[in-house]
Amino acid sequence: MYNRIKESFDNQGLMKTFNAQLISVEKGAVRISCHFFEGLTQQHGFFHAGVATSIVDSACGYAALTMMEDNSEVLTVEFKVNFMKPANTDKLVAIGKVLQHGKTLTVCEGYVYDSSEMKLISKMTATMIRIKKMD
């Protein structure tokens, strides 16, 4: 399971640009982290909301994928994110978890923490759709 997701993760140019790391893959839960650098900031010098959102979207998508058959791919239908604390940390840790898995749609919850994993920076709810892999 890790290998299937690691391969897909390595094909995401954006994750390379962010220098993001796939930390762990379990059934129904995926963890991705991203260290701070200047190129990821908003105008106040903290992580841009878009960075937190990108990595937690990927974490939720892959969490959904861990629940599906081998010939599946996943697309984001929609997500909603609440930003609760300023992202002034040297590392973001994003965790995607499956809340409800269905044949077509999977609902995930995503959490973005600071490097201590004590401060919840933002919270996502995402709807993912399964599509059949095109060979």
Q: Which two tokens stand for residue 46?
A: 């903290």
Select from 21-29, 73-81, 89-97 the region that touches a copy of itself (CB under 8 A): 73-81
Distance of CA 40 to the CA centre of its chain: 16
Interface pick for a copy of itself out of 22, 25, 34, 51 (rule CB under 8 A) = 51
Q: What are phi and psi of 50, to 5 degrees?
A: -65, -30
Does 85 help bind a copy of itself (rule: CB under 8 A)? Answer: yes
Question: Does residue 100 sit in helix, strand or coil?
Answer: strand
Does 49 help bind a copy of itself (rule: CB under 8 A)? Answer: yes
| Gap between the terminal Cα atoms of the chain | 19
Instruction: Report yes or no: 4 and 64 within 8 Å, Cβ to Cβ.
Output: no
Interface pick for a copy of itself out of 21, 28, 79, 91 (rule CB under 8 A) = 79
Residues that bind a copy of itself (CB under 8 A): 8-9, 11-14, 16-17, 37-45, 48-51, 53-55, 57-58, 73, 75-85, 99-100, 102, 104-105, 107, 120, 123, 125, 127, 129
